[in-house]
């Protein structure tokens, strides 16, 4: 029930195209859904995040769409650029009893943008 499922595992998109990565969760206690971007040899870095009280959040070329009833959320990268080539992780955390709320990560999507 703590899992976050992510697809696809890898994605190749042409420059200028739209990249779409999907995630699904089961635990209804999750109340925060960040996306992290990771370049080779680096740690994950927060890209954009959403709370379940909104259905969409947009920051520049990056948009999260959130479907609470389906327990699904997705990352859309508009006008994808070669510099967007990285591994993307969806994650979730929830208000529990421990105070420090751990992140539960998806399995990652390796995105490659080709010219």
Partner 1 sequence: EPEVTQTPSHQVTQMGQEVILRCVPISNHLYFYWYRQILGQKVEFLVSFYNNEISEKSEIFDDQFSVERPDGSNFTLKIRSTKLEDSAMYFCASSVEGTSTDTQYFGPGTRLTVL
Nearest-approach distance from CB 114 to partner 1, in angstroms: 22
Residue 89 region by backbone torsions, left for phi larger than 0, else alpha for psi between -120 and 50, else beta: beta
Nearest-approach distance from CB 17 to partner 1, in angstroms: 25
Binding mask 42-61 for partner 1 (x = CB under 8 A): xxxxx--x-x----------
H helix intervals, the chain = none
Contact 78, 63 (CB under 8 A): yes
Identified binder of partner 1 from the candidate list 32, 61, 62, 81, rule CB under 8 A: 32
Q: Which parts of 83-112 interact with partner 1 (CB under 8 A)? A: 89, 93-96, 98-108
Nearest-approach distance from CB 87 to partner 1, in angstroms: 10
Nearest Cα to 22, choosing from 61, 77, 69, 104?
77
- Rounded distance between C-alpha atoms, residue 105 and residue 2, angstroms: 10
Interface residues with partner 1 (CB under 8 A) are: 30-32, 34, 36, 41-46, 49, 51, 89, 93-96, 98-108
């Amino acid at each position: 029930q703590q899992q976050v499922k992510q697809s696809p595992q890898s994605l190749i998109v042409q420059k200028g195209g739209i990249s779409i990565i999907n995630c699904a969760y089961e635990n209804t206690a999750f109340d925060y859904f960040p996306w992290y971007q990771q370049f080779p040899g680096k740690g994950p870095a927060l890209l954009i995040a959403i709370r379940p009280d909104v259905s969409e959040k947009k920051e520049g070329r990056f948009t999260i769409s959130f479907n609470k009833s389906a327990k699904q959320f997705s990352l859309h990268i508009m006008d994808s650029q070669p510099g967007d080539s990285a591994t993307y992780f969806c994650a979730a955390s929830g208000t529990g009893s421990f105070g420090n709320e751990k992140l539960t990560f998806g399995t990652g999507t390796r995105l490659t943008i080709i010219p």
